[in-house]
Amino acid sequence: MACRPERPASSHLLLSSSVSSSSPVRKCQRLSTFLSLTYDDCGDCSLICQFCGALFWYAKRVLTTSTVNQPYYSHCCKSDVVILPFPLTPPHVLTSLYDVPTFRENIRAYNSMFAMTSFGGQVDENINKGLGPYVFKVSGQVCHWLGSLCPQDNKRHRFLQLYIVDTQNEVSNRLSSFDHPSKSRLDDKIVTMLMNMLTVHNEYIRTFKTARDLAAEK
């Protein structure tokens, strides 16, 4: 039986040396390619659509109808075909609170306090057992839990129920039901201001409070 001769050791050394020596060359080539990239300046986004007032770059103009001095744009409103109302001005109560440092520091807490629904989904916490940054992973369908309008026996009020049940003590109920490390820093006066603002300007909250009044009459 004929045997295949072994490769000489010298050829193995030559092969490995050629691979190792080419690796720095490839790195230098990739680095030179990256350094050769140039910055492309498109100018300022300061040109305005004559129909809706949206801001554009000059390069985004409609080539068939634009001139050098009068560019036209259609990506925003399709040349006045789509008309969207301007955003409403926030209530003065809300804008004035942005000047209060404690409100800005706890703005997420106040926002969560007035949530009418809770997050529904199967959160996978096993992905965060190792090292690395936090990852929020959800499996399956994501939804918002509305729950019942009335709390169960021996259960504290939560979410939407705070707008309907025991509203005479709504401020204290919100502060007591909000489980957060910053709860001690929350201001009951700010909670009252936000409650009154939402009652006036939020259609959903007014609807639920109307349902509360109808249930109280019966």
DSSP for 104-151?
A: HHTHHHHHHHT-SSEEEEEE--GGGSSSSS----EEEEEEEE---SSP
The reply to whether 61 falls in a domain is: yes
User: Between helices 170-177 and 188-201, what is the axis angle to 10°?
Assistant: 110
Quick one: 78 and 96 in the same domain?
Answer: no
Q: d(Cα 108, Cα 103) in Å, to the nearest integer?
A: 9
Three-class SS state of 21 = helix
> Does residue 105 sit in the same domain as residue 196?
yes
28-42, 77-91, 149-163: segment of lowest average pLDDT = 28-42
Domain that holds residue 72: 43-85
Residues 192 and 163 reside in one and the same domain = yes
**Which has the minimum average pLDDT: 3-17, 38-52, 163-177?**
3-17
Using CA of residue 90, residue 92, residue 96, residue 102, what is the dihedral sign? negative
Domain co-membership, 209 together with 102: yes
Over residues 47-55, mean pLDDT: 91
Do both 107 and 197 map to the same domain? Answer: yes
> What is the predicted pLDDT for the residue at 31?
63
Q: What are phi and psi of 110, to 5 degrees?
A: -65, -35
Average pLDDT over residues 188-206: 90
Would you place residue 49 in the very low, low, confident or very high pLDDT band (cuts 50, 70, 90)? Answer: very high
14 assigned to some structural domain: no
- Is the distance from CB of 208 to CB of 164 less than 8 angstroms? yes
Residue 114 lies in a domain: yes
The answer on 111 and 76 residing in a single domain is no
> Do 111 and 190 have their domain in common?
yes
Who wins on pLDDT, 43 or 20? 43
Number of domains in the chain: 2
Going from the C-alpha of 178 to that of each of 32, 162, 214, the distances in angstroms are 56, 11, 27
The 10 Å CB-count burial string (b at 16+, else e) for 85-118 is eeeeeeeeeeeebeeeeebeebeebbeebbebee
Proportion of the chain above pLDDT 90, given as a percent: 20
In a domain, residue 2? The reply is: no
182 domain residue, yes or no: yes
The neighbouring-strand residues paired with 139 are 122
Residues 108 and 212 placed together within one structural domain of the fold: yes
Q: 76 in a domain, yes or no?
A: yes
Query: Do residue 106 and residue 159 come from a single domain?
Result: yes
Residues 152 and 79 in one domain: no
- Among 14-18, 84-88, 173-177, 196-200, which stretch is predicted with the lowest mean pLDDT? 14-18
Q: Are residues 68 and 160 in the same domain?
A: no
173 and 203, same domain (yes or no)? yes
Among 13-22, 88-97, 170-179, the range scoring the smallest mean pLDDT is: 13-22
Q: Is the pLDDT of residue 10 over 60?
A: no
